[in-house]
Structures are given as C-alpha cells and as structure tokens.
Chains A and B, each alone.
Chain A
Amino acid sequence: MTRRGYLPILLVLAVLALLPFAVTSNVVLNFVVFVLIITLAAQGWNLLGGVGGQSSFGHAAFFGTGAYVSAILQVRFGINAWVATAVAVAAGAAVGWIIGFLSFRAGLRGSYFALVTLAFAEVLRILANAAGFTGGAAGLLMKLDVGFWNMQFTSRAAFLWLALGFVAVGLIVSQMIANSRFGAQLVAVRENEEAARALGVDVLSVKLKAITVSAALTAVAGCLYLQYFLYIDANIAYGLWISVEALLAPMVGGRGLVLGPIIGAFTLHGLGEASKLLAGRVPGIDLAAYGAVLILVVAFAPGGVLGLLRKLRFRSQPVAKTAEETA
C-alpha cells in the first residue's frame, strides 16, 4: 500500500468545500450539488467501466434501486433517513452482485454486457412504473421535514458538504483500489482477460467485486438525489439518462482515472450550462452539446480532459503508461 495520489484529491475537495464561503448564489450551489450527485454515480461507473473495462449501459439499475429502497423505507415504513440510505446502498450493491453474477458467469463482455445491463435497467423501470408499492407512474413524494436526522437541510451549503463527503469517500475508495493489488488485477482483466487468467487472477471474482462496489457507489448517488429533490418516479430513477450521465463523465474526464469522473462531470455540465446561456431557452440544446462532446472526446482525446492535460505536460517526453498510472 502506498500513499500516492491523495494530494490532488485533497486539493479538489478543499476547493469545493470552501466554495459556499465564496459564493452564496443558490443557482451556483444547486448546480454544484447536482453535479456532485452525478459525480458519485459516475465514480461507480468508472470503477467497473473505466478501471475494469466492463462498459455498462445500465447503471440506472443501481441508481434507481438506491433511490427506491430508500424512499420506500422512509415513506412507507417511517424509517430514519440515514438508516434507509445505508440499507438502500446495501440493496444497490446486492443488485449489482446479482446482475454481475448472472452476466459475468455467462461470459458476457463488450457490447453484450452493455446490452444486458441496459435490459436489466429497463426491466426494473417497467416494474417500478407498474407496481403499487413503488407508487406506480405517479412516483413517490417524500414529506418535507427539514432536520439533520431526516437528511434534509434548508441551506444548500449543508447539502453540498454532505454530497461532497460522499464524493470524498468515493474518491478515497477509488484511490485505495488503484493503489491495491485488487486494482492491478482489475486493470489486468481490462487489458487482457485471458492473460490475466493465465497469470492466476480469479477473473470472475475480481469482476464481481468491482461491480458490487461500483453499484454501491452509484446507489449512494440515487439516495442523495432522493434526499435533495424529495421526489422520484420510474423514469427518473431507472431512466436511461442516468446510465448515460454515469458513463459520459468518466469518458470526458479521463476513463479509469480517479479524478476522471469529477473533472468530467464538471466539464460536461459546465459546457451544458454555457450552451444554454448561448442558445437561450431551446430544449435539449445542453444534451445535444453532451453528445457532441462525447464524439469529439472519442475522436480527438481518448484520454479525456486529464489525458489532454497530461499530454501537454509531457509533450517533450514519451508518456510511460504503467498499470497504476492508468488506474
């Protein structure tokens, strides 16, 4: 175990934590909280899709399970928000393990894995939309009851720090994994599954561990979304939008890198807001910009924003890519 890589994380966290002292605009704080929630979902995706190379198109399955389990526990059973969140995250992790167990054991990878995760998320969406205890198509509305124990805050800053706390946990977990033996095994599976197996890596168990942690992180994002907006329905919680958000941010920021998701989420949503300002109130224009950014990144900057920065820094000397660096 090394202590490498924690300094940049600390810097990013410090800047965001001090933000509420510099800015009081609710619009800006709202924006930051929303982007932090997306960051959490993206950190989950990055662990499985970025570090492990198993691109999922259905992280909505974990986001939605987190949100729904937490909402049902609080609305129907009156359980404390913090306990509900903990149970919901465990439920999200369990769903991740089950989906992983079924699809990895069947040997699905690449496009097939992407499609099967998409299908699982769709099944959950249709079920949540039709079942009674999930509120059906009307969704679930939480009671507004501000207080620490209900995880509801009047000040946007308080919620920002809460979300940032979870993002910090996500960053530290990602960095610990990147520095660990498990992280190296995961990268080995991404680069060449057969070779990893030949070297004695238990591929199935490495992938299962990755998808479980990944699902848990994304489930936290679902829980936070619920606590912040106090309303979910099937198209929000299990919708394709969150699967795409979770995938886009790491791709744009830097796939497989610890800081990739947070950099990517802020870049994307910053660009989205900018295009909204430029184009006025045209619906869909920010999303069209995301799509264009995705195409441009894949075409011209496969390493994402962080990859570009690194290229600029090391322009004179060739970049040596070690497993730990790319993780």
Chain B
Amino acid sequence: MYSLPIVAEAMLNGLLTGAVYALIALGLTLVYGVLHIINFAHGAFLTCAMFAVWLANTFLGLDPYLAILPLTLIFFAIGYAVQRFVIGPASHGDDGNILLITLGLSIVIENALLAGFRSDTRSLMTDYSFNVFEVGPLLISQARLFGFLGAVVVTGLLWLLLAATDTGKAIRAVAKEKLGARLVGINVSHVFAVTFGIGCATLAIAACLLMPTFYVNPRVGGAFVLVAFTIVVLGGMGSITGALIGGLFIGVVESLCGLFLGESLGQIGIFIIFILVLLFRPTGLFGARA
C-alpha cells in the first residue's frame, strides 16, 4: 500500500522534526529537573523567540542562523529576569502556585503578541528555504538537516555544561537537595534563575533553527508545548538524554501517524502515548525519580 521510499522518507522527516522537538523539550525537562515545576509558559516563550527571529530578519536583515548568538543571550537574560523577579517572588515557594503563575504568564505573553502582531501568520523567505540534498531516492531539506544537527550539538553542549562545569555542578546540586546546596554556599535563587535562563536560551536556538522552514503566529507555541510535555514525560522528567531520544521517537510517531491516519489525526498518536506513559510509567522510560 505504501512503498518503502515513502515510509522511509516519512521516518526521516520525523527524525528531523523530532530533533527540534527534542531541543524544545530540553529546556522544559531541565527546568523541571531543577525547579520541579512544569513551565506552562514554555510555548509562549518559544513564540516570542520566533517573533524575535522574524523581526531580526525583516527589519535588520539578520539571517536566522546568524541571529542564534545574540538571541540566545537575550533570551537567557529574559528567562533569568522572569524567574528571579516574577515567578520566584510571586510563587512563595509553592509548586502549585508556580504552575498557575506560568499559566498566567503564557496567557499574558500570547495575548500581548496577539495584540501587537494580530493573528496573521508570518514566515521568512530565505534563499535556501527550499534547497535540498538528494540521497538516493530521498530528498532531504537542507534547512531541516541543519536544524537536526543544531539540536544534537546543543544537546551535547548542555550535557557538557551540566557534567563538567561548576555552574552545572551547582545546578545538579540544587536539583538533588535544595537545602544542602544552600548550606554549602550555593545561591539557590540565582541557580533557579540561571536554569530558567538556559531553558529560554535553548528556545531561542530552537526558534532560529525552525524559522527558515516554519511560520509564526501568536498561537504557534501551543502546538509545540504539548508535544514537548509528551517528550519530557516519555523521556523521564529531568533527563537530558531522555529528552533527545523521546523527541526523535515522537517525531517519527507523528510523521507515521500522519502518513497512515491522515493529516488531521497525525497528533493523536502523540497524546495516546502521553496518556499511556503517564498512567503506566509516570517516571518515563529513562527517569530515575518517582
């Protein structure tokens, strides 16, 4: 019914999309692992970053790939400030409150963007948006391949940051034992804010890698964030490698479901996996904590 090259191409496309999903999930899983909160504003920050890429390209003529460095820094600063001055003080240290604050933030950001940019969908026109590599019978979009490679590199860097630097050590210490970390002189609210900043910075990178082939409107983040939740739960909350593998897996599942069940049902496979994992293995496939 479906010839092999079509299925192979669908799987390949799924892997390419999945890598960017993984990158988006990375920030979410990191924030969960350290702050133990589910950041509902993650999708809204992604939308912000995508608009930033679009603005930089349209008004400054900045290529999305060149925008990676400045936007990463800017979004790190935004994330740091939001955690330090909004989420931290407003939540009084209660996890349930943080959930609601991030929900409130996402509503504010999404609708502020809607007020500012209206609901039009915008996309970038770069001269390489439609370039492809030909590998045998398969066509691979260049921009999406770059996205894949970028996501893998960032995952590696993040892993290195956590494993080999002092900042990483402090983050891991706070994730394991908040009180103990404070006793040995780690500034916990600073580490929280740094973690949140890193989460936002990965979103800026994801936005730069997405924009050459994707579009942006004020609601676009919502579609990604539910997928990212699934990946985080599937990979185990707080696990970096889990997020990467989970992201690739979910990308393939979505692509194959879209091929076999039709475009409108493409995402249903994701949510069914999500529910099954939550019900039967809430620690995820790679998660350590209960």
A residues whose Cβ falls under 8 Å from a Cβ of B: 55, 102-103, 106-108, 110-112, 114-116, 118-120, 122-123, 126-127, 129-130, 137, 240, 244, 247, 251, 279, 282-285, 287-288, 290-295, 298-299, 302
Contacting residues, chain B, for A292 (C-beta < 8 A)? 104, 108
Taking a contact as CB atoms under 8 Å apart, the answer to whether A55 and B280 are in contact is no
Known pairs A116-B279, A119-B271, A283-B119; list 8 more (Cβ under 8 Å): A116-B274, A122-B267, A123-B271, A123-B275, A284-B218, A294-B101, A295-B104, A298-B101
Q: Chain B interface (Cβ within 8 Å of chain A)?
A: 37-38, 86, 89-92, 95-97, 99-101, 103-115, 118-119, 218, 222, 226, 229-230, 233, 262, 264-265, 267-268, 271-272, 274-275, 278-280, 282
**Chain A binding surface SS class:** helix
B38, A295: Cβ atoms closer than 8 Å: no
Taking a contact as CB atoms under 8 Å apart, the answer to whether A126 and B229 are in contact is no
CB atoms of A284 and B264 under 8 A apart: no
CB–CB A287/B111 < 8 A: yes
Chain A residues with Cβ under 8 A from B112's Cβ?
284, 288
Interfacial chain A residues near B89, Cβ < 8 Å: 299
Q: Are A291 and B279 in contact (CB under 8 A)?
A: no
A251 vs B96: C-alpha distance when bound (angstroms): 12
Which residue of A251, A279, A284 has the most chain B CB atoms within 10 A of its CB atom? A284
Do the beta carbons of B99 and A119 come within 8 Å of each other?
no
Residue of A137, A282, A285, A298 touching B100 (CB-CB under 8 A): A298
Q: Could you say which of A116, A130, A284, A302 contacts B265, with CB atoms under 8 Å apart?
A: A130
Q: Which residues does chain A contribute within 8 Å of B96, judged by CB atoms?
A: 55, 110
Most-contacted residue by chain A among B89, B103, B109, B222 (CB, 10 A): B103
Residue numbers in A under 8 Å from B104 (CB-CB): 291-295, 298
A111 and B95 contacting across the interface, CB-CB below 8 Å: yes
Q: Are A284 and B114 in contact (CB under 8 A)?
A: yes
Contact among B105, B218, B262 for A291, CB-based, below 8 A: B105
In the complex, are the beta carbons of A119 and B275 less than 8 A apart?
yes
Q: For A53, give the chain B residue with the smallest CB separation.
A: B96
Contact of A122 among B114, B271, B278 (CB under 8 A): B271
Supposing A291-B104, A295-B86, A295-B101 touch, asked if A110 and B95 sit within 8 A by C-beta, the answer is: yes
Nearest B residue to A251 via CB reads B100
User: Which of B109, B115, B268, B275 sits near A120, CB closer than 8 Å?
Assistant: B275
- Knowing A112-B282, A287-B111, say if A295 contacts B90 (CB, 8 Å): yes
Q: How far is the CA of A290 from the CA of B110 in the complex (A)?
A: 12
Given contacts A119-B274, A288-B112, A298-B90, contact A126 B226 (CB under 8 A): no
> Is A288 touching B95 in the complex (CB atoms < 8 A)?
no
Please report the C-alpha to C-alpha distance between residue A265 and residue B109 in the assembled complex, in whole angstroms. Answer: 22
A240 to B104, CA, bound (A): 14
B107:A126 contact, CB within 8 angstroms: no
Considering the complex of A and B, which 8 residue pairs feature the smallest CB-CB distances, nearest first?
A291-B107, A284-B114, A284-B111, A299-B90, A294-B104, A291-B108, A288-B111, A295-B104
Whether B278 pairs with A126 at a CB distance below 8 angstroms is no
Mind listing 19 A-B residue pairs with CB under 8 Å? A110-B95, A111-B99, A112-B282, A116-B274, A116-B279, A123-B272, A130-B264, A130-B265, A279-B115, A282-B115, A283-B119, A291-B108, A292-B108, A295-B104, A295-B105, A298-B90, A299-B90, A299-B91, A302-B97
Rounded to whole angstroms, the CA-CA distance of A142 and B164 in the bound complex is 63
Cβ-closest chain B residue relative to A300? B90
